[in-house]
Structure 1
Amino acid sequence: MISCLIVDDEQGALDILTSYISKTPFLSLAATTTNPLEALSLVQQQPIDLIFLDIHMPQLSGLEFMKLLDGRSRVVLTTAYSEFAVESFELNALDYLLKPIDFSRFLKAAQKALNIFTEPSPKWQLPKEDEYIFVKTENKGKMLKVSFDEIVYVEGLKNYVSICTGEDRVITLLNIKDLEEKLPSGQFMRVHKSYIVSLNKIRALDGGQILFKDMKAYVPLGETYRPAFFKALQEKIMSGNRK
């Protein structure tokens, strides 16, 4: 049900719109008022989906009311004057009904509201992180695609980095810090001033050495990086209770 409020300083207009709402099965009348200031208070006190709002009112015009409303409810403007149509749609009015309002035209505006309120919400998804990067190789003009899942570790070599993918090494003119910023933080970690490792590829820890699956090579674990490294692995470390 769409909760409605009618705001009009003429009782006759209130009565007509009340009758129309009662005949429309998906509309529910929450309140009516001739006072736009009271209407603002009502909107703040309870959820109102749709307001049928007169433009010409003594204390506050309908257009001024919409500016104060600040988008909290959708609005259908009702008026005997057509010259405010452009300004009303600039304020994002749902519809603009000219008095006297017949029931068929009222239903058209109500259907617009129904379409908006029953439109399925978009299913938002977290943006997927990049799965690869392209790096320049030693061969001029050649770029190589490197998938994150392939990377075992990265070694910094002054102004170059060596990307180890297990079977191959890719040497590229790149700063290790710049590459670190590109790699997914939940998958890769800096463990030494010269090394970044893939947490998924680690096979074992042996003192200050990090060993990898299916590889004889190892990476040193720097003292500065030890606390953060073990904190990252804390949930995965199993320890037996000795009696």
Structure 2
Amino acid sequence: MKCIAIDDEPLALKVIQEFCHQVPFIELEGIFTSPMEAIGYLSAHPVDLIFCDIQMPHLNGVDFILSQPHPPLIVFTTAHPEYAVQGFEVDAVDYLLKPVPFNRFLQACQKAHNRLGFNQHKSEKQNLFTASYLLIRVGYDTVKLNLADILLIEGQKDYIKIQTIDQAYLTKGTLKSMETKLPHREFVRVQKSFIVSLAHIEKIEHNHICMGKYRIPISDRYRDHFYETLHDQSL
């Protein structure tokens, strides 16, 4: 498992570095004293796991993870037990209290290893049996939408609007949950409020996606991932 560690305390990073060297299935690729340093690295070097402190200057660990469009597995390390709830709200694999004993560190690594294996197996199965349609609730009805007909999906607070070739549908939910239901090679999030279908993009003009009457700006946060996915599709 490829991983990095983020902590504003050099001594804590040293401990994690030494522990990683003792775990045969962990490969520590980098250590960083701030999340801002790690953001640039992750944009070019995806990893499987991040060991991350929570309370850090400028950007705390939870907000850092939430800022990532496709975050890897996360194990939080902190001296503050009161942050545990926040940690598990972002689906952290584990939450280690400093000073971290090696046996707990090893346990967290094993949890991450097991989850990664499960996610990969699940992903492979989904690739084999990917549905060509989406079922949504609209009022009291269940509506079947063909994925090929969906142009874009817009987040509107507690609801999402799905725009198809023919009409729009409003259903309760979030863009984050919708992302997990869509094939990632065909539907890409381009900003906080929009997911678009690559198949229906007519042109990209000054970092704006043009689809009929729609002109959607690509935000800085999602730009690299969008263009990488678009490039992979064109190969």
Normalised by the size of structure 2, how large is the TM-score?
0.51
Identity of aligned residues (%): 40
Aligned-partner SS, 2:52: strand
Query: What is aligned with 1:73?
Result: 72
- The C-alpha deviation readout for 1:118-167, integer Å capped at 9, x for no partner, is 23614232669xxxxxxxxxxxxxxxxxxxxxxxxxxxxxxxxxxxxxxx
What's the Cα RMSD here? 1.6
Q: Give the drift of 1:59.
A: 1.8
Distance 1:126 1:18, change over 3 A: closer
Distance 1:40 1:93 in 2: 18
Q: Which runs of 5+ in 2 are unaligned?
A: 133-235
Higher relative contact order (CA 8 A, sep 6+): 2
Instruction: Encode CA deviations 1:183-208: one digit per residue, 9 max, x unaligned.
Output: xxxxxxxxxxxxxxxxxxxxxxxxxx
Query: Is residue 92 from structure 1 mapped to residue 91 from structure 2 by the alignment?
Result: yes
Are positions 1:49 and 2:44 aligned together?
Answer: no
Which letter does structure 1 place at the counterpart of 2:98? Answer: K
Q: What is the CA–CA distance in structure 2 between the aligned matches of 1:51 and 1:126, rounded to whole Å?
A: 29
CA distance in 2: counterparts of 1:6 and 1:56, whole angstroms: 14
Give, in angstroms, the shift of residue 13 of structure 1: 0.3
Runs of 4+ aligned structure 1 residues displaced above 6 Å come to none
Per mean C-alpha deviation after superposition, the further-off stretch among 87-96 and 7-16 is 87-96
Write the letter of the residue equivalent to 1:24. V
SS of aligned partner of 2:81: coil
> Aligned partner of 2:40: which letter?
S
Cα distance in 2 for partners of 1:96, 1:125 equals: 34
Task: Quote the offset at 1:110 in angstroms.
Answer: 0.1
- Hey, what does 1:37 align to over in structure 2? 36
Residue of structure 1 equivalent to 2:129: 125
Distance 1:28 1:87, change over 3 A: same
Q: Measured at CA, do residues 84 and 71 of structure 1 come closer, stay the same or move farther in structure 2, by a change above 3 Å?
A: farther
5 Å-filtered alignment, 1:128-207, equals: none
TM-score calculated relative to the size of structure 1: 0.50
Three-state SS of the structure 1 residue aligned to 2:77 is: strand
Question: Cα deviations across residues 23-77 of structure 1 (Å, max 9, x unaligned)?
Answer: 0000001100102101111111101110000011112111111111234211100
The residue identity in structure 2 corresponding to 1:121 is: H
> Which protein has the larger Cα radius of gyration, Structure 1 or Structure 2?
1
Tell me whether 116-125 or 57-66 shows the greater mean CA deviation: 116-125
Distance in 2, Cα, partners of 1:66 & 1:41: 14
- 2:78 maps to a residue whose letter is T
Instruction: Spell out, residue by residue over 1:97-123, the C-alpha distance to the aligned partner (whole angstroms, 9 max, x if none).
Output: 000000000011000011012236142
Which has more helix, going by share of residues?
2
Give SS of 1:65's match: helix
Relative to structure 1, the CA distance from residue 99 to residue 126 in structure 2 (aligned partners, 3 Å threshold; closer, same or farther) is: closer
> Partners of 2:101 and 2:61 in 1: how far apart?
21
Q: For residue 183 of structure 1, what is the aligned residue in structure 2? A: none
